[in-house]
Amino acid sequence: MQIWAIQTLNSLALGGLLFMLSSGFALIFGLMRIANLTHGSLFMIGAYVAATVVRAGYGMMLAALAATAAVALLGGLVERLILRGLGANAQRQVLATLALSFIAADVCLVIWGGDPIPVEAPLILRAPLRMLGLAFPTYRLVVLAIAVVVALLLYLLIERTRLGAMIRAGVDDMPMARAAGIPASRLFTTVFCIGAALAGLGGTLGGPIFNAYPGLDAEMLPLALIVVILGGVGSLFGTFLASFIIGFIYTFGNFLAPDLAYVILFLPMVVVLAFRPLGLFGRSVA
Which positions lie near other proteins, rule CB under 8 A? Answer: 29, 35, 82, 85-86, 89-92, 94-96, 98-103, 105-107, 109-110, 218, 222, 225-226, 228-229, 233, 258-263, 265-267, 269-270, 273-275, 277, 279
Closest CB 169 distance from other proteins, rounded Å? 21
Closest CB 226 distance from other proteins, rounded Å? 7
Residues 6+ apart with CB under 8 A from 61: none
Nearest partner of 43 among 67, 65, 27, judged by Cα: 67
Q: Name the residue nearer to other proteins (CB basis): 6 or 27.
A: 27
Closest CB 63 distance from other proteins, rounded Å? 26
Q: Name the residue nearer to other proteins (CB basis): 252 or 266.
A: 266
Q: Name the residue nearer to other proteins (CB basis): 48 or 136.
A: 48
Contact indicator for 74, 45 with CB cutoff of 8 Å: yes
Q: Name the residue nearer to other proteins (CB basis): 124 or 218.
A: 218
Closest CB 1 distance from other proteins, rounded Å? 28
Q: Name the residue nearer to other proteins (CB basis): 255 or 266.
A: 266
Q: Name the residue nearer to other proteins (CB basis): 103 or 180.
A: 103
Closest CB 15 distance from other proteins, rounded Å? 19
Closest CB 212 distance from other proteins, rounded Å? 18
